Amino acid sequence: MSIESALSDLTGPLPSGVAEGAALGAGVADGYDLHETVIGDVMVAFNTVGVSSVDLADGGFEERHRSRFGRSLIRAEAPSAWAGAIPAALEAGTPGKLPIDLRAATPFQAEVLRATAAIPKGEVRPYAWLAAEVRRPKAARAAGSAVAANPIPLIIPCHRVVRSDGRLGGYSLGGPHHKRRLLESEEANPDWLEGLASRRVRVRGDASAGTFHHPTCRLIRRSAAFVDFGSVAEAREAGLKPCRACRPRE
């Protein structure tokens, strides 16, 4: 049963299948389907607002969803307009035009998650960057908490957020090994990132271009002779300007 058909008629006696459809249309249950990803099968839940959650397709996802959102899950087809958009969003690691349901998030958390969704594939950003993006530069810890509570991992790519010291950090969708696997699949090279963090490298400068960048920035010229810096302030003191694309900030 699709959500579209569930919305078409919510009156009169309801056989079991229609009753499930009515629950979907009335918002007391979310539909879900299973999708294959590089970290295994995941459950993608959706309702009339948009995609509401992504979770590992293990034996406990239905209870976790009910506990978190107060709604049960019903196996269902997503609206036809989303049929190709959900797998595409999982692959790209960004919602694109796919509607998402962030009603369970606070306004601050939703802002942080939307900023997270804009991190390009194959790149990472620290918690402090997210806090600055939402105009709360002193709220790096709160930004980290918002990322940890992300209800839609993979589609909102919290695996692309690292600790403010550059370390990879944890991951809510199955643990750090899944985060590492996702970054590897995007050629973000997690071992290299951990190596930079151990050397306290936060940004990389390209003196010939007069700019400095986050280490994974797509605009870094691979032929450049890099100068590594421990902070944005050090890079600025060296006379370099921040990249307009990755916007490195303290």
Q: How many CB atoms lie within 10 A of CB 105?
A: 18
* pLDDT at res. 15: 41
* pLDDT at res. 174: 95
Angle ∠(46,23,67) on CA atoms, nearest 5: 60
Catalytic residue annotation:
158
* pLDDT at res. 83: 86
* pLDDT at res. 3: 46
Taking CB atoms within 8 Å and a gap of at least 24, the contacts of 136-140 are 136/108, 137/249, 137/250, 139/108, 140/164
**Residue position matching structure tokens 């990322």:** 147
Nearest partner of 157 among 186, 134, 132, 190, judged by Cα: 186
Of the options 3.30.360.10, 3.40.50.300, 2.30.180.10, 3.30.160.70, the CATH number for the domain spanning 3-92: 3.30.160.70
Tokens of 13: 């006696």
Regions of the chain with pLDDT less than 50: 1-16, 18
Quick: pLDDT tens for 127-164: 999 999 999 999 999 999 999 999 999 999 999 999 98
CB distance 71 to 65 below 8 Å: yes
Nearest partner of 153 among 24, 38, 4, judged by Cα: 38
Q: What is the largest CA-CA distance in the chain?
A: 74
CB distance 45 to 51 below 8 Å: yes
Report how far apart the first and last C-alpha atoms of the chain are (Å, whole number): 50
- Domain borders along the chain are 3-92, 107-198, 203-242
* pLDDT at res. 12: 33
CB distance 51 to 101 below 8 Å: yes
* pLDDT at res. 220: 84
Q: What is the CATH number of domain 107-198?
A: 1.10.10.10
Extract the runs of DSSP E, i.e. beta strands, from 163-223.
Answer: 203-206, 211-213
* pLDDT at res. 10: 31
